Amino acid sequence: MIEENLKSLLERIEKSCVRSKRKKEEIQIIAVTKRVPLQRMVEAIECGLKNFGESQVQEAKEKFESLQSSYPFLKWHMVGHLQTNKVNRAVEIFDAIQSVDSFKCMQAIDRRASQLGKVQGCLLEIKVSEEPTKFGLREDEVQKILDESSSLKHIYLKGFMCIAPYFDDPNKAKPYFSKTYDLFNRFFLKSSLKIDEPVLSMGMSHDFEAAIEEGSNMIRIGTALFGERY
Ligand SMILES: *Cc1c(COP(=O)(O)O)cnc(C)c1O
């Protein structure tokens, strides 16, 4: 079932790329496996998926410990909100923390990464709507944190992430994606950070096509690969 889901996901990605005159190779898929059991993750790995997203540190840690020795090539992405008291364990597991939303959080990550002799990949989460349940940085906070981040030697800031509000018609999410794309261009790509492959992580099962058409190069897909979560 994952194999078929992946096939149709790839076809839809390709169509969005054709519509927006982009290359499908530019789009990375993060398979979001929160509340997805190990067995199905293994199935996904056998289909060739390597990038996994989790939203809770404890769940990720358990899965990481079960899979790491057999599949050391996997990349783990933290996509959920990161509480300060979970930073230490998060840095032990994740290749990328996509939900950095304050300098305080970044400093805590830097401190732990330094202890572990690691440079931690991170994305800044951008708050695109006023919904109280959403986290992230506002436009007027972005420049400051980019400047501050350059002093942290154990942080590798690779780009931005956003979560658009839900609309029945996913095309309605486009203004939120294009806003983030604009901030990514104006602030991240213009900053002094030297990044080989800048990441703009936008789009989930419901709205990834709209996100790709507005410039996303990393989509985070759960339901469309694994089915509904319970
Ligand atoms: C759960 C989650 C996803 C995947 O959601 P689906 O709608 O199942 O594709 C993507 N990003 C974040 C931040 C999530 O928490």
Query: CA–CA separation, 200 vs 180, rounded Å?
Result: 8
Q: Which atom of ligand 1 is nearest to the CA of 161?
A: 13
Query: CA–CA separation, 226 vs 3, rounded Å?
Result: 10
Q: Using alpha carbons, list the distances in angstroms from residue 156 to 81, 124, 130.
A: 19, 11, 28
pLDDT bin (cut points 50, 70, 90) of residue 23 is very high
Q: Report CA(200)–ligand 1 centroid distance (Å).
A: 15
Q: Report CA(121)–ligand 1 centroid distance (Å).
A: 20
pLDDT bin (cut points 50, 70, 90) of residue 140 is very high
Specify which residues 137 forms β-bridges with.
126
With a cut of 80, say whether residue 230 has pLDDT above it. Answer: no
Query: CA–CA separation, 118 vs 160, rounded Å?
Result: 21
Q: Which atom of ligand 1 is nearest to the CA of 163?
A: 13
- CATH architecture type of domain 2-225: Alpha-Beta Barrel (3.20)
Q: Is the pTM of this model over 0.85?
A: yes
Q: Report CA(224)–ligand 1 centroid distance (Å).
A: 10
Q: Which atom of ligand 1 is nearest to the CA of 205?
A: 9
Tell me the residue type at 140.
D
pLDDT of 61-90, one tens digit each?
999 999 999 999 999 999 999 999 999 999
| C-alpha atoms less than 13 angstroms from C-alpha of 71 in its C-beta half-sphere | 20
Domain ranges (residues) in the chain = 2-225
Q: Report CA(205)–ligand 1 centroid distance (Å).
A: 7
| Phi, psi (deg, nearest 5) at residue 229 | -90, 145
Ligand 1 binding pocket, CB closer than 6 Å: 32, 34, 55, 79-80, 163, 204-206, 220-224
Q: Which atom of ligand 1 is nearest to the CA of 34?
A: 1
Query: CA–CA separation, 36 vs 194, rounded Å?
Result: 36
What percent of the chain is predicted at pLDDT more than 90?
94
What pLDDT is recorded for position 162?
98
What pLDDT is recorded for position 149?
94
pLDDT of 125-136, one tens digit each?
999 988 877 899
With a cut of 90, say whether residue 106 has pLDDT above it. Answer: yes
Beta strands in 86-226 (DSSP E): 96-100, 120-126, 155-162, 199-202, 218-221
pLDDT of 186-225, one tens digit each?
999 998 887 889 999 999 999 999 999 999 999 999 999 9
- For ligand 1, atom 12, name the residue with the nearest CA: 79
Give 46: exposed, middle or buried? Use CB within 10 Å, 0-12, 13-18, 19+.
exposed
- For ligand 1, atom 11, name the residue with the nearest CA: 220
Q: Which atom of ligand 1 is nearest to the CA of 98?
A: 13
